[in-house]
């Protein structure tokens, strides 16, 4: 009996012993791994932040930062290289990029009466942002405000100085100058560089930060609205707090959000209201095309009167951040930097590719980290999205041209502009939507379904405008109106559920 009693207890002791040894081994392994990891991280951090020279908020010359971070600087410099894809990245050589308004004549017609009808080209690499602005005939042939420099130079130190230490005050002051005055000031102070390291990085710790006053005000206005922002969770979290301080991306956003916010500083819709020409991002009701339009309607904003028809037009400007916000990638937490600045291995470290460019030139690192199918297949899927968007955009543009033709025919026969007011409102709505897609630089990729929705609305508004113009025309000439379809002019965009 004692035997049978002893055996299990000895067995138990052995089991406990083995278990203890195993636990000890595991703990040792974990501790060792941790130590190695900590050591590696320390080394990495050390390597990354070994400073040969001191850099501060005032150091806008990237060649100085290059001494500390040569790898990032080398790729940053490559934005001067020439690249091309089917719908993006046209040119980058010394010669000026192609004119969009010559390639798509309907663009030139719809911009009639505005500087964009004179000179409007393809974008290219960041290295050119300043020189392309200096050379465009929109600047050389038309008066422009200092506000233009907000997104085209490393201007924050100039704002700080102009505002005696207050960036926001200096921002208003410089925005309200003429382009030439502001340019001379930035040049005099030595900050005439395209987007530079301190525009996106805190010089003390290299953390991402946003510096553009237009973005800081714009994102705070978006947070203060009630529109859902599921792709920006910290905004939704801020709304649940006491809201005493405005939403501040530099304090409140996650690192992943910052990887998009740094680009949203410039790749956005903007306008310059008031005598200070204050650069403003119209996000007070939300980021969608009709929410921005509603804001412009509320403040009675119009960029120009269309030369032929006299319609009160809104000009759209590169709404990449807004469009990305409506897509599946934003919803899945994929940032601008994930695709446009992917990681690359350089020696033992992972660095972010600062050659900001079309991800189609870099599918392997930009897409295949998440999408494990062949490069050709990925490119083909993008091409399907872009071709469909392009074709729908051409169709929408054709309907806008038809609408303008109908209006001009009515005007030619003496129909008064008041009689065409409703039709001209439709032109405003249709053109705003077409331009929102045309001025966005991904040809639908950032949000394919949203892009199609916006273009479908544009076609509807353009055809309604055409019918209204024809009705006014026929009423004027005394023809029977009975045969015309009755139009239903909705005053505003559709309700957002």
Q: Can residue 445 be called a binding residue for ligand HEC (CB under 6 A)? A: yes
CA 417 to CA 228: how far, in whole Å?
40
From 295, 315, 318, 428, residue interacting with ligand HEC (rule: CB under 6 A)? 318
Q: Can residue 150 be called a binding residue for ligand HEC (CB under 6 A)? A: yes
Residues 87-146 that bind ligand HEC (CB under 6 A): 87-89, 92, 120-121, 123-126, 128-129, 132-133, 136, 138-139, 144
Long-range contacts of 5-10, Cβ-Cβ distance < 8 Å, separation of 24 or more: none
Q: At what angle do helices 213-224 and 233-240 cross, to 10 degrees?
A: 60
Torsion of CA 449, 455, 458, 459, to 10 degrees: -110
Q: Can residue 85 be called a binding residue for ligand HEC (CB under 6 A)? A: yes
Shortest Cβ 298–ligand HEC spacing (Å): 21
Shortest Cβ 472–ligand HEC spacing (Å): 35
Q: Can residue 267 be called a binding residue for ligand HEC (CB under 6 A)? A: yes
Q: At what angle do helices 421-438 and 375-412 cross, to 10 degrees?
A: 160
Q: Are 195 and 126 in contact (CB under 8 A)?
A: yes
Question: Which residue, 390 or 422, is less far from ligand HEC as judged by CB?
Answer: 390
Q: Can residue 192 be called a binding residue for ligand HEC (CB under 6 A)? A: no
From 72, 389, 399, 431, residue interacting with ligand HEC (rule: CB under 6 A)? 72
From 60, 260, 280, 389, residue interacting with ligand HEC (rule: CB under 6 A)? 260
CA 431 to CA 189: how far, in whole Å?
41
CA 152 to CA 163: how far, in whole Å?
20
From 264, 282, 465, 493, residue interacting with ligand HEC (rule: CB under 6 A)? 264
Window of 8-16, 25-33, 227-235, 435-443 that interacts with ligand HEC by CB under 6 A: 435-443
Q: Can residue 441 be called a binding residue for ligand HEC (CB under 6 A)? A: yes
Q: CB-hemisphere CA count at 13 Å for 248?
A: 6
Window of 5-13, 161-169, 221-229, 378-386 that interacts with ligand HEC by CB under 6 A: 378-386
Query: C-alpha angle with apex 101: 363 to 263, nearest 5 degrees?
Result: 40
Q: Are 489 and 464 in contact (CB under 8 A)?
A: yes
Size of interface with ligand HEC, in residues (CB under 6 A): 90
Q: Can residue 211 be called a binding residue for ligand HEC (CB under 6 A)? A: no
| Residues 6+ away with beta carbon under 8 Å from 14 | none
Binding mask of the shown chain, residues 325 to 364, with x at each position contacting ligand HEC by CB under 6 A: ---xx--x-x-xxxxxx---------xx-x-xxxxx----
């Amino acid at each position: 009996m004692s035997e049978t009693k002893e055996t299990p207890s000895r067995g138990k002791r052995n089991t406990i012993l083995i278990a203890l040894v195993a636990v000890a081994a595991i703990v040792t392994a974990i501790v060792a791994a941790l130590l190695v990891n900590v050591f590696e991280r320390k080394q990495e951090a050390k390597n990354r932040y070994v400073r040969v020279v001191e850099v501060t908020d005032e150091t806008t010359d990237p060649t100085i930062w290059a001494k500390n971070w040569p790898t990032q600087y080398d790729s940053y410099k490559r934005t001067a290289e020439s690249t091309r894809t089917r719908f993006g990245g046209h040119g980058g050589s010394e010669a000026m990029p192609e004119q969009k308004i010559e390639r798509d004549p309907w663009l030139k017609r719809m911009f009639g009466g505005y500087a964009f009808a004179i000179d409007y080209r393809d974008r290219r690499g960041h290295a050119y942002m300043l020189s392309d602005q200096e050379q465009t005939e929109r600047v050389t042939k038309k008066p422009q405000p200092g506000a233009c420099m907000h997104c085209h130079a490393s201007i924050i130190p100039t704002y700080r100085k102009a505002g005696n230490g207050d960036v926001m005050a200096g921002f208003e002051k410089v925005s309200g100058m003429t382009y030439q005055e502001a340019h001379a000031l930035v040049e005099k102070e030595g900050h005439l560089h395209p987007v530079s390291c301190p525009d996106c990085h805190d010089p003390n710790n290299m953390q991402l930060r946003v510096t553009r006053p237009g973005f800081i005000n714009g994102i705070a206005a978006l947070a203060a609205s009630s529109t859902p922002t599921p792709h920006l969770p910290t905004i939704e979290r801020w709304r649940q707090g006491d809201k005493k301080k405005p939403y501040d991306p530099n304090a409140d956003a996650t690192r992943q959000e910052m990887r998009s916010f740094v680009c949203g500083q410039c790749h956005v819709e903007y306008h310059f209201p008031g005598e200070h020409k204050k650069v403003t991002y119209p996000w007070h009701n939300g980021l969608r095309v009709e929410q921005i339009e509603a804001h412009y309607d509320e403040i009675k904003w119009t960029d120009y009167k269309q030369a032929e028809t006299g319609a009160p037009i809104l000009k759209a400007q590169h709404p990449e951040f807004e469009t990305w916000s409506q897509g599946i990638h934003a919803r899945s937490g994929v940032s601008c930097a994930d695709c446009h600045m992917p990681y690359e291995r350089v020696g033992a470290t992972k660095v972010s590719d600062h050659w900001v460019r079309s991800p189609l030139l870099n599918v392997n690192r930009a897409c295949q980290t998440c999408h494990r199918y062949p490069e050709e297949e990925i490119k083909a899927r993008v091409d399907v999205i872009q071709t469909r968007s392009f074709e729908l955009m051409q169709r929408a543009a054709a309907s806008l041209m038809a609408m303008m033709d109908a209006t001009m025919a009515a005007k030619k026969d003496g129909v008064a502009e008041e009689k065409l007011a409703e039709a001209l409102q439709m032109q405003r709505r249709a053109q705003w939507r077409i331009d929102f897609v045309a001025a966005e630089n991904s040809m639908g990729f950032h949000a394919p379904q949203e892009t199609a929705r916006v273009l479908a609305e544009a076609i509807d508004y353009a055809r309604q405008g055409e019918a209204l113009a024809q009705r006014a025309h026929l009423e004027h000439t005394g023809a029977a109106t009975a045969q015309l379809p009755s139009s239903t002019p909705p005053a505003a965009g559709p309700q957002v559920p």
